[in-house]
Structure 1
Amino acid sequence: MRLNILLALSGLFVAWAAAYKIYTGFKTNIAKARKAGYPVLITPIYPLSPLWLTTRTFLLPLLTRFLSFLLPASVYSSHIHPWLFVMTPDWEYHPSPSRHFAQQQVGSDTFIAASWNGLCCYTRDAGVIHQVMSRREAFPKDTRQYGILEIFGSNVVTTEGQVWRMHRKVTSASFNERNAGFTFREAVRQTKGMVGGWFASSGEQNGGQHREENGGQNEGKEKEMTGTITTLEHDTMRWALNIIGYVGFGLRLIWPHESMPTDVDPKLAKYGSLEPPAGYSMTFADSLATVLERILVILLVPSAVLKRIPRSWGRIGAKMHEAWEAKVNYTKYMNTFLAEKVEDIRAGRKEKEGMNIMGQLVRSKYDISSSSSSLEKNDSATNSTWKLEDSEIMGNAFIMTLAGHETTANVTHFTLIELAIHPEAQRRVQRDIDAIFGRDSDPETWDYEKNINALLASYIGAVINETLRLIPPVVVTPKRVADTDQWLQDETDGQRHHMPAMMPIMPVISAVQRNKRFWPALDKTKQEGDAGDLDEWLPDRWKRKRTTAATKASTHPPPFSGPFAAPLFPSLTARVPAWGGGLPWWRWSLLWR
């Protein structure tokens, strides 16, 4: 009897303590949010809670059905739907007008979601984003949300402050105009390889009818092509990986229809092999691609558990086993590559042209006395006391591959899809290519330094920028308020807003780039309405002169000047084309001769 009473009292105490914590948490956080002066959206669940982020896919539909059934429609639509919408995965990408639903409900481009255990500020205001991005000390990177990218070690993306500055010194030395030209030439070579694979595949499907090539020159009559490209997403990912692999790490990665060049260093040949070398169960390219695809599984499931899950557990078991296999293979490849680079540095072997990202990272630790070290040139005092650990070398190598791989591949992928949908845009792109390089010129003779400004100022630059605006490689860029409260001057309402310390700030890039306050409609007849023509892919909008508000939406300088001068946003938003569609061959004849 006494035990039952004790258990009941203990249960009541725990329930009271939990209720008190939730009540005081709501009271404190709502007060902080209201002090900031922005509209407050009260959410029972914290949108950035790790537990919610991992369970929301199956919990959200259940919660939505339960609450919509339990509550009157008027109560649900006015009090429940707004916060449920913000809890929805990737709500920033929902079709218009849903994308702007949260801001419309609160009546502001900036609002604060307040829960009992946290605050989070969302904004699609260009002026607010400009301040948050430019005032690094007041609004640093929210490194808490970048943990997923530390899978192989800390790096330039996952760090902030002085540590970030040191990582940046090591990694930034490779990014210069000379290496940009080298990257351009390799991109041309890899593009010919990708397109050559499409023609070879079409030839197999159509009895050998494909364009003849002679010594890399497009000669002979182009024959009638039929068939459809159904592997564009995969091919652009491989294309980008092949480029960053060679220009960044000196690894020659080839296409299935190609042969490995005879002058490739035997030590490096295994990384570009189309078959797993001895001691590996996956190729380097496949292991990296799978790690990127299964990164959430690798992060969330402990390695000790992941490696013991058999393939026989159906589809989930197969994916988890594949994730573990990819991680093991990729780690082994990179450890071997690191050891080989250390040996080359210590032996004083000269490296071929290229960005040499891995060599720069290795040199920062193992060749500090070298006069070629950028650290020594830039900060000799700090250089004597700081160097990268092996895990940080691996982490930076991974993040450079990820950053140069998926972002470039996705932008290229969607640009080509939009061009296939809009034949007239294809023709305008081709006309500008002919005007800049010459109609019958060999792409391998194209000069980056001579022609880059003309390319960016042409319709080609407009096409790329419009794709970036519609379909950003990154949807949000997590920031936070510094360790002390900060003031934010809002140019929209003219007020100073008191931002509470440590509060996450989520600049919703995919929404600001369709915000009609900063992007006037190209077609005046569509100016009214929620989004006007901002959901449409219209490269001609980049002919407009930049406005002050649009300029402030970007913290980066414009990439070019001229008739298409406009800000290039760090990442931008989108109408995503339907999956599963193919690109007819005839459309490609305008893009590649």
Structure 2
Amino acid sequence: MPSALLLLLPLGLISAVAVNWYLCFRRNIEKAKESGIPYVVVPVFVLHRFWLITNPLWLKLARKFLPEEWIESWYDYVRPEFPWELRNEPFKKFGSDTILSVSGGDFCLWTADADVISQITTRRSDFPKPTQIYTSLDIYGKNVVTTESAAWRRHRKLTSPPFTERNNHLVWAETLDQTQAMLNTWLGKNRQGNQTVDRIMDDTMRLSLYVISRAGFGRKLEWPQVEDTSHNSTGIDVKPTQKIQNEEAELGEGHSMSYTYALHFLLDHIVFAILINRTILKLSPVKVMRHTYQAYIEWGNYMREMVVSKKAAIKAGERLDDMDIVGQLVKGQLLPTDEKSSSKDAPLSDSEILGNSFVLMLAGHETVANTLHYAFLLLAMNISSQRNLQKDLQEHFQGRPISEWDYDRDLPALFGGMTGAVLNEQLRLIAPVVNIPKCTYGVPDQPLIVNGKKCTLPTNTFINLCSCVHTNPSWWPHGPPKDPKNPAHPVSNLDNDLEEFKPERWLLDPDHKDKTTTTAKELNILDDKTKAADDAEEFSISTTSVTSPSLYRPPKGAFIPFSDGFRSCLGRRFAQVEALSALAVIFSQYSVELAVDKWATDQEVDEMDEQGRRAVWAKAASEAQRLIHGSTTIITLQMRQGSVPLRFVRKGSERFNF
């Protein structure tokens, strides 16, 4: 009898779970029908953590063993990154740019409709951020990314002041300096650039890290020198192509890693730190995991020492740099009691200062680095656009040395010219994140205008604002594809050019007038404009367009590389200044080319006619395109299946100039 009970208990539990799932599934289908939003029935909640980790295995098995008619209707819509992998094709196949996926779990809304995106980003109280998916970023403390409502308002208000126009001047100057140092390591001893560089991503990561360290945290970091060894003083192997000195000359007292190396290693291996318990990391038999734990401890200790140092300096009457994030946050801690108006304006704790410092480092580190990396690749693959960029820079700077460049005079010209067009086009094609998350958790059903009619979005819906809105022909001017027989994307936009890298599409005709409108505005379901403006001022939220007024301005909601609305990227202008100035430094003097070492030696290329060079270049371009399409997301979208080697050569010395 006991044996029978032991057998019946798990069977009963499984049956109860199955019955509950079925009832929830039926209830959700009824809600989806009532919503008025086009919906697709799927077997799983696509954002369940187990599915996010294991979905490639199950999808492969489903494709192999299940009949096509069983999976055809839902297969694409349970791929978490389908808006990147397939772009607009699943929406086109469904006949709607907004789709509600329905399972036995929560609802999931996917939208590549600029009108719907604009409604969601503007109505901040109705569509909060799903902070539960960001708790893994609390590795040092709560912060502006992982909080919502009143807590977020407090964090945002206290972290915003350093992101000012004055700070952007420093971003400009530091980027000019650090980009020249980075470029020197790529050009070789004779500065002709006749060497292949395959550490581009590593170096753009280092560049963005160094800029934010100086412009956001008041710490100047010097670009390391190239070494002949592929090992560093910690005993951890690095890629032979990195060959970069990782350690500063002096360690902090009581530290086993330098500040620079600890932060660099932690950010490079951040997936371990955010997904694996710290005790497991510490005791792991895998060296890189133990080293990640050590970097986590070391950088945290450096930052705690910095907080103590700032407190001592303030108490001693020293004036801190206004652009020093840590210093300003510590200063807020030490205000007299009567100056701390209320709990909502209470200063951040030490752990919250560390938490904000870390996420600002992380966000500023990866986003700009990826932007520059992909921009170099796309320019190397689109030679005519690269020449147009160089021509525009030559016309503006007229050979003026970088030491004479001026932020107030030169940045507007870069932002509104071909450099800004290149930046915007790269962000349009390859946004930092595939899906921007919102939700209706904790709020009631919400009215939403979808496909021109009033609908109801159910509570407990996870929302994905899909970056493939950037290539949605419903919202972007477009023309025929350059080469229909060789499309830029395997399945998406085969009849137009929106998957192609064409910065020139952003350059306006003088007579252009913006006639775009938003259905949601006409239906009066957006927040009060005056309230939004007041909030923007209070929290230093930029209300300017994401692009220059002299470039094409997409309809609201159609271009969201920095998100939009109340929770748009705090460091948007910081990132734009950094990317624009770095591009200007490099392409005012040099060209970037795909390295073809895999297919031909330098001597063989020199002896080729134009037809031969075109053929070998095409092989390199095809390989680069394959690797770009294979990019995946951990925190941001990155190319993870390999690297594309490049060469930076002086203008006029190009081997591939056609």
Residue of structure 2 equivalent to 1:400: 360
Q: Does residue 583 in structure 1 map to residue 651 in structure 2?
A: no
Conservation of the 8 A alpha-carbon contact between 2:247 and 2:261? no
CA distance in 2, matches of 1:468, 1:414: 9
CA distance in 2, matches of 1:384, 1:485: 25
Residue of structure 1 equivalent to 2:496: 532
Q: CA deviation at 1:4?
A: 3.1
Give per-residue Cα distances to partners, 1:384-427, cap 9 Å, x unaligned.
96221111111111111112111111111211222222333233
CA distance in 2, matches of 1:501, 1:289: 41
Say which of 222, 239, 249 aligns to 2:207: 239
Residue of structure 2 equivalent to 1:214: none
Structure 1: which amino acid aligns with 2:420?
A: G
Q: CA deviation at 1:272?
A: 8.5
CA distance in 2, matches of 1:529, 1:388: 48
Q: CA deviation at 1:47?
A: 1.1
Structure 1: which amino acid aligns with 2:207?
A: W
Structure 2: which amino acid aligns with 1:504?
A: F
CA distance in 2, matches of 1:590, 1:351: 47
Give per-residue Cα distances to partners, 1:153-186, cap 9 Å, x unaligned.
1111111111111111111111111111121111
Distance 1:49 1:7, change over 3 A: same
Residue of structure 2 equivalent to 1:569: 559
Distance 1:526 1:140, change over 3 A: farther
Residue of structure 2 equivalent to 1:314: none
Give per-residue Cα distances to partners, 1:503-539, cap 9 Å, x unaligned.
1111011x11111111221448889954611111000
Q: CA deviation at 1:198?
A: 2.1
Residue of structure 2 equivalent to 1:442: 401
CA distance in 2, matches of 1:11, 1:384: 49
Specify the SS of the correspondent of 1:518.
coil
How many residue pairs get aligned? The number is 529
Distance 1:431 1:104, change over 3 A: closer
Q: CA deviation at 1:197?
A: 2.1
Where do residues 144-183 of structure 1 align in structure 2 (5 Å cutoff)? 144-183=132-171
Structure 1: which amino acid aligns with 2:469?
A: V
Where do residues 27-46 of structure 1 align in structure 2 (5 Å cutoff)? 27-46=26-45
Structure 1: which amino acid aligns with 2:497?
A: D
Q: Does residue 364 in structure 1 map to residue 332 in structure 2?
A: yes
CA distance in 1, matches of 2:279, 2:628: 40
CA distance in 1, matches of 2:295, 2:206: 16
Conservation of the 8 A alpha-carbon contact between 1:457 and 1:564? no
Q: CA deviation at 1:552?
A: 9.1
Q: CA deviation at 1:245?
A: 0.4
Give per-residue Cα distances to partners, 1:17-70, cap 9 Å, x unaligned.
1121111111122222222222222222211112222333xxx32x33443444
Structure 1: which amino acid aligns with 2:422?
A: V
Conservation of the 8 A alpha-carbon contact between 1:139 and 1:481? yes
CA distance in 1, matches of 2:344, 2:10: 59
Say which of 326, 332, 344 aligns to 2:295: 326
Where do residues 206-245 of structure 1 align in structure 2 (5 Å cutoff)? 209-210=190-191, 224-245=192-213
CA distance in 1, matches of 2:482, 2:653: 32
Residue of structure 1 equivalent to 2:111: 123
Conservation of the 8 A alpha-carbon contact between 1:516 and 1:531? no
CA distance in 2, matches of 1:394, 1:470: 34
Structure 2: which amino acid aligns with 1:298?
A: A
Conservation of the 8 A alpha-carbon contact between 2:196 and 2:647? yes
Q: Does residue 64 in structure 1 map to residue 59 in structure 2?
A: yes
Higher RCO, 1 vs 2 (CA within 8 Å, ≥6 residues apart): 2
Residue of structure 1 equivalent to 2:530: none
Q: Which sits farther off after the overlay, 12-21 or 572-581?
A: 572-581
Give per-residue Cα distances to partners, 1:258-317, cap 9 Å, x unaligned.
9xxxxxxxxxxxx9925644433333223223222322322222212221112xxxxxx1
CA distance in 2, matches of 1:552, 1:563: 25
Specify the SS of the correspondent of 2:331.
helix
Structure 2: which amino acid aligns with 1:175?
A: F
Q: Does residue 196 in structure 1 map to residue 156 in structure 2?
A: no
Conservation of the 8 A alpha-carbon contact between 1:484 and 1:500? no
Residue of structure 2 equivalent to 1:294: 269
Conservation of the 8 A alpha-carbon contact between 1:543 and 1:565? no
CA distance in 2, matches of 1:29, 1:587: 61
Q: Does residue 462 in structure 1 map to residue 437 in structure 2?
A: no
Q: Which sits farther off after the overlay, 331-340 or 343-352?
A: 343-352
Q: Does residue 485 in structure 1 map to residue 444 in structure 2?
A: yes
CA distance in 2, matches of 1:454, 1:551: 33
Q: Does residue 24 in structure 1 map to residue 14 in structure 2?
A: no
Structure 1: gaps (5+ residues)? 204-208, 211-223, 259-270, 311-316, 371-375
Conservation of the 8 A alpha-carbon contact between 2:150 and 2:344? no
Give per-residue Cα distances to partners, 1:459-492, cap 9 Å, x unaligned.
111111001101111221110125333434425x
Structure 2: gaps (5+ residues)? 227-245, 485-491, 522-541, 564-623, 630-641
Give per-residue Cα distances to partners, 1:75-131, cap 9 Å, x unaligned.
34x24xx33x3333533221xxx3334324432111112221211111111110011
CA distance in 2, matches of 1:501, 1:225: 57
Structure 1: which amino acid aligns with 2:376?
A: L
CA distance in 2, matches of 1:349, 1:426: 48
Length-normalised TM-score, structure 1: 0.82
Conservation of the 8 A alpha-carbon contact between 1:142 and 1:480? yes
CA distance in 2, matches of 1:331, 1:397: 10
CA distance in 2, matches of 1:518, 1:414: 24
Q: Percent identity?
A: 32
CA distance in 1, matches of 2:249, 2:276: 29
Give per-residue Cα distances to partners, 1:524-576, cap 9 Å, x unaligned.
88899546111110001112455626999999624321254557933189966
Say which of 452, 455, 459 aligns to 1:494: 452
Residue of structure 2 equivalent to 1:261: none
Specify the SS of the correspondent of 1:129.
helix
Q: CA deviation at 1:16?
A: 2.7
CA distance in 2, matches of 1:296, 1:257: 28
Distance 1:296 1:583, change over 3 A: closer
Q: Which sits farther off after the overlay, 423-432 or 465-474?
A: 423-432
